[in-house]
Structure 1
Amino acid sequence: MRKFVSLVLYTALMLGANVSQANEADTLRDLRQGDMKKLILHSAPKEKPQVAFQTEDGGTATLADYRGKYVLVNFWATWCAPCRAEMPMLDALQGTYGGEDFEVVTIAAGRNPVPAMKKFFAEAGVENLPLHRDPKQQLARAMGVIGLPLSVLMDREGREIGRLIGDADWNGEDAHVLIEALIGAAN
């Protein structure tokens, strides 16, 4: 079945289907399989507040800094067991698709000391993800994060098009089909 879905996706892309002119959520809705069925897609993109978070180099950034590409924002914490299981899959997703059209942005919400975050990433074998922080949870609150992990899928304009509460296999074929549908149509 997955190979059939992939074939349909690639055929649509070859025939000129354009995700950027359609609502991304509508395009993705029928492609959700496996863990990706937990991805709640919005009928219309939702504007998000531009609250600053701390970058791994000690500076600040907002999600507006990522406009122009699709972004999967993942809120996590060092004490979160499901986050530990999910993080290597997010790292692999970034390694495969990260670049000009797509990026995984990880943000530790709450009190997560930098040494503990580095240890967490080292133990999980994470090499491709940033160590951003939201220590006072200002961004997490503004984005309605009610539990961890939580992943928010954003369009090229920085609007939320979907969210997934809990962990998921972000490096599985089901996730790849969704990401390819977004970035493949953009190229």
Structure 2
Amino acid sequence: MNRRDFLAATAAATLATPVAARPVMPLRDSPRDMLSPPFVDGGGHDLTLADFLGQVVLLNVWATWCAPCREEMPTLDRLQARLGGADFHILPLSIDRAGLGPVRRFYDEIGIAHLGLYLAEDIRAMAALAVAGLPTTILIDRLGRELGRLSGPAEWDSPKNIAFFETIIAKGQDTP
């Protein structure tokens, strides 16, 4: 099976599994260094993942035109409300080509209140982060290394996921 067929089969299997029945994000055997594309926040400030060193980050690459992305966004908002702070941050990185306007409107429409606005150029972000499809969520340690990733939507604020993230956050309180 070639890579393209494998990705298509993986995406189909992921989307065929109900969100609530999906496993907690699988972790790597060891953290992996990663690239960071440049991106901007809702105020237009230039950022990279280095700006979040010292925090556990849940990076969610998404777009307003992606139906599964839209479905999971409220769960990310609730997770940020519950666990977000100095040790943990959810970074919803939109790759909408039309800019921050559609992202702001989407947040307003569905009542997203706890997530920040972040935007990156689509091709550059997907290449740097090795994203093959949306949504893709990457768990990043306090040193900016990838701990794990999940392609496809999830119920991020489920009790199982909350316990998982609390365990990750509690590990290694040291900052870089």
**After superposition, what is the alpha-carbon deviation per residue over 1:128-160, rounded to whole angstroms, capped at 9, x for unaligned?**
111111124312211111111110000110000
Q: CA deviation at 1:63?
A: 0.5
1:98 match: 84
Code of the residue aligned with 1:96 in structure 2: it is R
Aligned residues: 154
Instruction: Confirm whether residue 48 of structure 1 aligns to residue 40 of structure 2.
Output: no
TM-score (norm 1): 0.77
Structure 1: gaps of 5 or more residues: 1-32
Cα separation, 2, equivalents of 1:183 and 1:128: 19
**What pairs with 1:30-179 in structure 2 (closer than 5 Å)?**
34-37=21-24, 39-179=25-165
Cα separation, 2, equivalents of 1:67 and 1:36: 27
**What pairs with 1:7-46 in structure 2 (closer than 5 Å)?**
34-37=21-24, 39-46=25-32
Q: CA deviation at 1:49?
A: 1.2
Percent of aligned positions with the same letter in both sequences? 37
Code of the residue aligned with 1:52 in structure 2: it is P
1:30 match: none
Q: CA deviation at 1:100?
A: 1.0
Q: CA deviation at 1:87?
A: 0.3
| 1:157 aligned counterpart, secondary structure | coil
Cα separation, 1, equivalents of 2:138 and 2:65: 20
The runs of at least 4 consecutive aligned structure 1 residues that moved more than 3 Å come to none
Cα separation, 1, equivalents of 2:53 and 2:21: 29
Cα separation, 1, equivalents of 2:61 and 2:102: 16
| 1:137 aligned counterpart, secondary structure | helix
Cα separation, 2, equivalents of 1:51 and 1:84: 23
Q: CA deviation at 1:114?
A: 2.0
Q: CA deviation at 1:43?
A: 0.9
| 2:115 aligned counterpart, secondary structure | coil
Cα separation, 2, equivalents of 1:166 and 1:129: 19
Cα separation, 2, equivalents of 1:119 and 1:78: 10
| 1:36 aligned counterpart, secondary structure | coil
| 1:82 aligned counterpart, secondary structure | helix
| 2:22 aligned counterpart, secondary structure | helix
Q: CA deviation at 1:161?
A: 0.5
TM-score (norm 2): 0.82
